Amino acid sequence: MSKIITLGEIMLRLSTEGNARFVQANHFCIVPGGGEANVAVSLSNYGHEACFVSKLPKHEIGQIAVNALRSYGVDTQYIVRGGDRVGLYYAETGASMRPSKVIYDRAHSAIAEATPNEFDFDAIMKGAQWFHWSGITPALSDNAAQMVKRACEAARRNGVTVSVDLNFRKKLWTSEKAISVMRPLMQYVDVCIGNEEDAQLCLGFKPDADVEGGRTDAEGYHRIFELMAREFGFKYVVSTLRESYSATHNGWKALIYNGKEFYESRRYDINPIIDRVGGGDSFAAGLIHGLLTKPTQGEALEFAVAASALKHTVYGDFNLMSADEVESLVQGNASGRVQR
């Protein structure tokens, strides 16, 4: 059990029920979530002391997010309370050839308007083994980017391993802006998670292959992983490889590179998908757990892929699977027989 820090935004997903379209909705399910918060919940479920760092308003809507984190055992003591808004996003869930749809309403949220001085990152990092963040956090605002930098520096001072999930979001910033912010931050990073598109848009690497169409080509990732590891000195470069057949049917596997060897995971056929939002975050969490507890990168990756495959069967951003349940799938128990 390790102390693990994640830094970012937790939003309320306002989700239509089942597969209802927005204009059919008469209520929204409240689904708290956000990249780094999702990672924290997964890690708490695996038995770690997961601390989520953010800022949320003092009012009850902020409290909804805090309580959701607390209910899964996440340590919320470093969440600063203040500001006006909880970030929101509206979501409807697709099916077959109809894609899911997300409408963001996250501008002006408390964390986007927070300043770095509101957080004592040395106190936060003290005693921690791991610090994880994603490319979403620095994209929120210049202040948030500065916050990430401060957190990374404190992590380094405290000997904390740092991982990043590049996670480019075109609604939040341009590739140009992303590259200018993200590249300098890479010096602090030990483990970099990102697909070709992220590598291109966040770090400026030219892609070899088109991954738009849902095709995954693990081979095509080899060259770019080597470039990334070489340039930034990452200990591990990792990517998931999603095959999108439809909104409810995906293939799912991943690739890891430790600077010497590549390891490609088992592939899962996920059908039906219950909820794919948070799939990448559950992978990051599984990878952190795997790298902290497994002897090889291969075993770490298999845990991460199994964990995130299972996430696709769980409603909500949070991956509500225990380590034992993930291990059971890693062991090949995928028949879906009733567990009595």
CA distance 193 to 227: 14
Q: Is residue 309 close enough to count as binding its own copies by CB under 8 A?
A: yes
Selected from 1, 22, 120, 180, the binder of its own copies by CB under 8 A is 22
Q: Which stretch binds its own copies (CB under 8 A): 119-127, 134-142, 284-292, 314-322?
A: 314-322
CB of 214 to its own copies, least distance (A): 5
Helix/strand/coil for 106: coil
Length of the chain measured in residues: 340
Least separation, in Å, of the C-beta of 28 and its own copies?
5
The piece of 225-233, 255-263, 295-303, 318-326 that touches its own copies (CB under 8 A) is 318-326
Q: Is 210 a catalytic residue?
A: no
Q: Which residues touch 251 (CB under 8 Å, ≥6 apart)?
A: 216, 242, 243, 245, 267, 268, 269, 270
**DSSP codes of every residue in 223-291:** HHHHHHHHHH--SEEEEEEEEEEETTEEEEEEEEE-SS-EEE---EEE-S-S--TTHHHHHHHHHHHHH
Q: Looking at 88-96, 153-161, 183-191, 224-232, which segment touches its own copies (CB under 8 A)?
A: 88-96
Query: Which residue among 47, 49, 64, 293 contacts its own copies (CB under 8 A)?
Result: 64
Rounded to a whole number of angstroms, the minimum distance from the CB of residue 45 to its own copies is 9
* 323: contact with its own copies by CB under 8 A: no
122/197 with CB nearer its own copies: 197
Task: Check binding of 30 to its own copies (CB under 8 A).
Answer: yes
Tokens representing 162 are 């740092």
Q: At what angle do helices 218-232 and 196-203 cross, to 10 degrees?
A: 30
The residue (of 88 and 227) whose beta carbon lies closer to its own copies is 88
Torsion angle (degrees, nearest 10) of CA 33, 38, 41, 43: 180
Q: With CB under 8 A as the rule, give the number of residues binding its own copies.
A: 84
Residue 90, exposed/middle/buried by CB under 10 A (0-12, 13-18, 19+)? middle
Instruction: Round to whole Å and give the CA distance between 50 and 128.
Output: 9
> Does residue 149 touch its own copies according to CB under 8 A?
no
Q: How far is CA 36 from CA 107, 150, 263, 336, in A?
A: 18, 17, 25, 29
Least distance to its own copies, CB of residue 176, Å: 19
Site residues for its own copies, 272-291, by CB under 8 A, read 272-274, 276-277
- The verdict on 59 binding its own copies (CB under 8 A) reads yes
Q: Contact, 91 vs 114, CB < 8 A?
A: no
Q: Does residue number 169 form part of the binding site for its own copies (CB under 8 A)?
A: yes
Which residues from 117-136 bind its own copies, rule CB under 8 A?
Answer: none
Does residue 20 bind its own copies (CB under 8 A)? yes
Among 1, 82, 99, 126, binds its own copies (CB under 8 A): 99
158 binds its own copies (CB under 8 A): no
Q: Which stretch binds its own copies (CB under 8 A): 189-197, 233-241, 285-293, 305-313?
A: 305-313
**66/188 Cα distance (integer angstroms):** 29
Residue labelled with tokens 């590259």: 179
Phi, psi of 239 (to 5 degrees): -150, 145
Chosen residue from 107, 115, 126, 184 binding its own copies by CB under 8 A = 107
| CA separation for the pair 202, 199 (Å, rounded) | 6
CB 321 within 8 A of CB 274: no
Asked if 85 interacts with its own copies (CB under 8 A), we say: yes
Which of 18, 82, 233, 259 forms a contact with its own copies (CB under 8 A)?
Answer: 18
CA 116 vs. chain centroid, Å, equals 22
The residue (of 154 and 277) whose beta carbon lies closer to its own copies is 277
Hey, which residues between 232 and 271 contact its own copies (CB under 8 A)?
A: 244-249, 268, 270-271
Catalogue the active-site residues: 281
